[in-house]
A and B are shown apart, each in its own frame.
Chain A
Amino acid sequence: MSDDSPHPPHAKSDAEHWAALSALVDGEAGAQAQERCLALWAEQAGVRARWRQYQLIGDILRSRELASAYAHDEAFLSALRARMAREPAVLRPKTAVLRRLRSWAAPMAATAGVAAVAGVVVMLRTAPDGGGAAQVAVQVAAQPAAAQPIVVSAPVVAQGLQPVNGRLIRDARLDRYFAAHRQSATGTALQMPGSMVRSVDTIVLEDR
């Protein structure tokens, strides 16, 4: 690396690094190349300089105006970095995890619905007191299918599972994940007090 940083102990040559950076500019770098560029970004001013040069070239090709005196990138980024350091960490649940959750959430909901109906039927047929069975059936039917995981239904009890105080014990880690995701989805997790941030939320709503 010839610019202004010591050579890192990477196997790839400078030209390969620059070529990977150029591909990343265009969104055409593979996952490994992305990782390498990000690692070098943190380590070497030369990488940051080239990224700026490549971006500046593209900007000027699209508009001469973008070669303006406002291109004081390093100072701008330094100031922004100091502010970012005071911000809470950005974290969004990984898409892959969400996809997996969604993939089993729909069948689970359907299964829960079927189980609820089956439970009602079983109770109606087996309860010694017809009036009591009808009452339980109404209670079960009143629960939406999505709420089934936290409701102790008659079929579960019938299968021998013993709930604690009328509720099943759930995995606390899953609860925390859902809570974080709900906050993320509704925009409350990172919402800061003050009017400046409220207008950002407005923008996000428009985006949806």
Chain B
Amino acid sequence: MSPHDADRALVERAQQGDARAFEMLVVKYQRRIERLISRMVRDADLVHDIAQETFIRAYRALPQFRGESAFYTWLYRIAVNTAKKALVELKRDPVSTESARARSGEDDETYRTGHELSDGETPEALLASKEIAATVNAAIDALSEDLRQAITLREIEGLSYEEIADVMNCPIGTVRSRIFRAREAIALKLRPLLGTREGERW
């Protein structure tokens, strides 16, 4: 199953005016969109603003989304165009955006490779991120073989439940259950870390 297929129901509901469905898509793609933008823009506040603008533009343009490409591909293009436009405006209006431009550095340096610290991202936050990633990976390793295989085939290989059922030679209902149980087991280990971060309400 492609990511496009996984999003279809929520996208169609959002197109029919269901803001809750769009919010679910926002939560799903926010991290990926912010990472994408952070490769083009160093300033953390600007990354946040551009990501917000990206989703607002997507929300406005939803009726025109035809589903001929994956929703994320469409969203990705909006994010890139929004970031490019922000960078152009940054050059054009250096007075109002001087501090942001100073933090952004020269043009060639606005594109980053690898996970460097961007402005506004603290060493503590980076450490917390690494701890979260390590916890998830440790939780995956601690899963039974069946659960690990099911969630890996879904999340990493992108297979549909039907395809996973074929691979694992079990009913689709079992696949559904294994993936759910795997997520719950990992989330159980994850929750204490998330709950302690910046008072966020998980």
Contact = CB atoms under 8 A, between A and B. Distances in A.
Contact of B136 (A31, A34, A60, A208): A60
Interface of B: 1, 5-10, 12-24, 26-28, 30-32, 34-35, 38, 44, 47-48, 51-53, 55-57, 59-66, 68-69, 74, 77-78, 81-82, 85, 115, 121-122, 125-126, 128-130, 132-133, 136-137, 140, 151-152, 154-156, 160-161, 176-177, 179-180, 183-184, 186-187, 190-191, 194, 198, 200-202
A19 B125 CA distance: 31
Interface of A: 4, 18-19, 22-29, 31, 34, 38, 41-42, 45, 48-62, 64-77, 79-81, 83-84, 87, 89-92, 94-95, 184-185, 187, 189-192, 195-197, 199-204, 206-208
A84 B59 contact: yes
B13 A77 contact: no
A52 B8 contact: no
7 contacts: A34-B13, A56-B31, A66-B35, A91-B63, A185-B64, A196-B57, A206-B77
Contacts of B56: 80, 83-84, 87
Nearest to B58: A200
A195 B82 CA distance: 11
Nearest to A21: B180
Could you tell me the dominant secondary structure of chain A's interface residues?
helix
A74 B200 contact: yes
Contacts of A208: 66, 68
Given A22-B180, A29-B9, A92 B27 contact: no
Contact of A69 (B7, B30, B81, B121): B121
A68 B47 CA distance: 13
A57 B155 contact: yes
B63 A189 contact: yes
